[in-house]
Structure 1
Amino acid sequence: MEILKFSSLFAVTAVAEILGCYLPWLVLKQGKPAWLWIPAIGFLVLFAWLLTLHPSAAGRTYAAYGGMYISVALIWLYFVEQVKLTSWDIVGAALALTGMAVIMLQPKI
């Protein structure tokens, strides 16, 4: 149950980070309106706050979060950017999630 809790929180955190970075990308690369910087800043603040909700040390949290970020970024790539995922993408995401689980579920000493 603990892994489900951490995974869900990491997934929401990843979406906040991706939106915080994707909106400025739209402004700078696709000429979208500059007001998109405002929600982008809000999403990045939300992202930072969500990372503080984990009980682990910051470095361990960031390391484990990376696995979920990779997976959510690939889901974003598929659904938002309409890019077909390869088997390499899927295997890479599975490896990253396995790494996240190993880090987050290690025995407490």
Structure 2
Amino acid sequence: MTAFAYIGAALAEIAGCFAFWAWLRLDRSPLWLLPGVASLCLFAYLLTLVDADNAGRSYAAYGGVYIASALVWLWVAEGVRPDRWDLIGAAICISGAAIILWGPRSPA
């Protein structure tokens, strides 16, 4: 469930942010903001579904997923293929996210 929540949250956040980008940078209609805000609300909700004891840890681990998802967006939506440095950086971020989320913890 955690992976699906993170992937869904990443897609929702990127789509919501892109709606604002389209409005401000691509001269699209302000109506783009309506689905953008809805998408950002969905993003926030989906992060609450992550199986973690602390919100901060959940958000920190999400950062790595977001970076990898943003590179997928770059490729699929913008038509720019990530280079090897993008891929290496994303792999490091995903590894860090996994360590943050699933690393062994001492009882509090």
Fold shared by both chains (TM-score > 0.5): yes
Where 2:88 maps in the other structure, the secondary structure is: helix
**Gapped runs of 5+ residues in structure 2?**
none
CA deviations 1:29-63 (Å, max 9, x no partner) are: 11111111100010011111111112320110010
Give the AA of the match of 1:99: G
2:18 and 2:67 map into 1 onto residues whose CA distance is: 15
What's the CA shift for 1:9?
1.5
CA deviations 1:83-109 (Å, max 9, x no partner) are: 121100000010011011111112253
* Identity, % of aligned positions: 41
2:100 and 2:36 map into 1 onto residues whose CA distance is: 29
CA deviations 1:54-73 (Å, max 9, x no partner) are: 23201100100000000000
TM score, norm. by length of structure 1 = 0.91
2:40 and 2:74 map into 1 onto residues whose CA distance is: 19
**Given the alignment, which residue of 62, 73, 84 partners 1:87?**
84
1:103 and 1:31 map into 2 onto residues whose CA distance is: 39
Where 1:101 maps in the other structure, the secondary structure is: helix
Please say if 1:22 is aligned against 2:32: no
Please say if 1:68 is aligned against 2:57: no
1:52 and 1:8 map into 2 onto residues whose CA distance is: 12
1:46 and 1:8 map into 2 onto residues whose CA distance is: 13
What's the CA shift for 1:80?
0.5
CA contact (8 A) 2:2 2:51 kept: no
Aligned length: 105
CA deviations 1:1-41 (Å, max 9, x no partner) are: xxxx3222111100000011001110111111111110001
